[in-house]
A = this chain, B = another copy of it.
Amino acid sequence: MTEIVPVILSGGSGTRLWPMSRPEKPKQMLALTASDTMLQLTAARAHGDAFAAPIVVANAAHADAVEEQLGAIGAQPSALILEPAGRNTAPAIALAALSAGADQAMLVMPSDHVIADRDAFHAAIHAALPLVEQGWLITFGITPDAPETGYGYIKVGDELAPGIHRVARFVEKPKRDVAEAMIASGDHAWNGGIFLFRADAYLGALERFAPAILAAARSACAGARREGVRVYPDAAAFAASPSDSIDYAVMEKADRVAVVPVTMGWSDVGSWDALHAISDRDDRDNVVSGDVVMLDSRNCLVRSDGARVAMVGVEDLIVVASGNDILILPRGRSQDVKLLLDAMKN
């Protein structure tokens, strides 16, 4: 068995953590939960004897930042594949699979998630390896702790091996009552977007279920320009790929798809509220970072990357100062960042 190749997907440019997260410095480039960035934490999570150097798929605009951040922790990628345009995860992973050896196991990870319990993660990975060798596509099922409507769910089916189950069904972002029923059932997990499979297994599934994606990826790789570890796929060829997620394009259609349910302190840090929830808090439940002077305040998340924030007598407030922007909203309302961004566009 060769080493597992971590495949780190760094293409995102989410806005839910605005104003810290911006197109030029998206969430994965930020140090939100620790002194290391989310990208660095992701790379460090799949580092060591069992792992080869990572393949990173990123937006070309972030090439320097990715190399700098990974270099700083001694996790230089074997290939840094720079997407000329975003085509969602299925094509991005196809580029990585074509760069890996056909028989290599690929551990596909978003670059902007937190996993607090690395040992549990590694145990789940190793439990899955025998099925991976048999060509199964593995997804990791996050033990859910709330009826979230923003996640995909996996119905956990029959056990295939200790701790590994056939996927009975994928359920995309459910309505609230459906989510509550799935939580109550006890046999559903969140789809955390972390996958493990051999490169040839993924490419084979693509060939069967999404041949246009595979063809575009092959063509983009064939025409790629290389500079050291950097790979610039052919832009026109890649642009011809359908844009689709690995879930829709492959996982929901393929036959031999398994899930490893795992409780590992996972969070996608999908909002400022989520960051407050997973962060270490002081004795007044505040989470503070940057130049902040705070008196008689409770249950706040306050972050500044420049300006000095002085607060007194405030409760349950989220304050984020970044660059020329200051975001202020009550705890529980951080999904409304989107409303503010819409309002600012108009």
Which residues of A (298-346) have their CB < 8 Å from a CB of B?
Answer: 304, 306-314, 317, 319, 321, 324-330, 333, 336-337, 339-340, 343-344
Which residues of B lie under 8 Å from residue A306 when comparing CB positions? 324
Which residues of A (174-228) have their CB < 8 Å from a CB of B?
Answer: none
Contact among B293, B317, B326 with A310 in the assembled complex (CB-CB below 8 Å): B326
A1 within 8 A of B: no
Number of copies: 2
Which residues of B lie under 8 Å from residue A339 when comparing CB positions? 295, 312
Which residues of B lie under 8 Å from residue A319 when comparing CB positions? 326, 328
Centre residue among A312, A324, A336 by max chain B CB count within 10 A: A312
The reply to whether B307 and A340 contact each other, CB–CB distance below 8 Å, is no
Q: A326 vs B302: C-alpha distance in the bound complex, in angstroms?
A: 12
Contact among B293, B311, B344 with A293 in the assembled complex (CB-CB below 8 Å): B344
Known: A308-B344, A311-B328, A326-B326. 8 other contacts (CB 8 A): A293-B340, A307-B307, A307-B321, A312-B329, A312-B333, A312-B336, A314-B328, A317-B317
The reply to whether B310 and A325 contact each other, CB–CB distance below 8 Å, is yes
Write the chain B residue with the least CB distance to A330: B313
Contact among B296, B307, B312, B329 with A311 in the assembled complex (CB-CB below 8 Å): B329
Which residues of B lie under 8 Å from residue A327 when comparing CB positions? 310-311
Q: A308 vs B341: C-alpha distance in the bound complex, in angstroms?
A: 12
Q: A340 vs B337: C-alpha distance in the bound complex, in angstroms?
A: 28
Q: A312 vs B296: C-alpha distance in the bound complex, in angstroms?
A: 23
The reply to whether B307 and A343 contact each other, CB–CB distance below 8 Å, is no
Beyond A293-B344, A295-B340, whether A329 also contacts B307 by CB under 8 A is no
Which residues of B lie under 8 Å from residue A324 when comparing CB positions? 306-308
Which residues of B lie under 8 Å from residue A309 when comparing CB positions? 326, 328
Which residues of A (82-138) have their CB < 8 Å from a CB of B?
Answer: none
Which residues of B lie under 8 Å from residue A317 when comparing CB positions? 314, 317, 328
Binary per-residue interface labels of chain A (2-29) against chain B in the complex, 1 for a CB within 8 Å, 0 otherwise = 0000000000000000010000000000
Which residues of B lie under 8 Å from residue A325 when comparing CB positions? 307-308, 310
Write the chain B residue with the least CB distance to A292: B326
How close is A201's CB to chain B, nearest CB, in angstroms? 45
Q: A330 vs B317: C-alpha distance in the bound complex, in angstroms?
A: 11
How close is A316's CB to chain B, nearest CB, in angstroms? 11
Beyond A328-B328, A343-B293, A344-B293, whether A336 also contacts B307 by CB under 8 A is no
Q: A129 vs B83: C-alpha distance in the bound complex, in angstroms?
A: 82
How close is A299's CB to chain B, nearest CB, in angstroms? 14
Q: A328 vs B286: C-alpha distance in the bound complex, in angstroms?
A: 15
How close is A295's CB to chain B, nearest CB, in angstroms? 6
Beyond A307-B321, A312-B333, A313-B333, whether A295 also contacts B328 by CB under 8 A is no
Which residues of B lie under 8 Å from residue A330 when comparing CB positions? 313-314
Q: A293 vs B328: C-alpha distance in the bound complex, in angstroms?
A: 10
22 pairs from A and B in contact (CB 8 Å cutoff): A19-B310, A295-B336, A295-B339, A295-B340, A295-B343, A306-B324, A307-B307, A309-B326, A310-B328, A311-B327, A311-B328, A311-B329, A312-B333, A312-B336, A312-B339, A312-B340, A313-B330, A314-B317, A314-B328, A317-B317, A319-B326, A326-B326
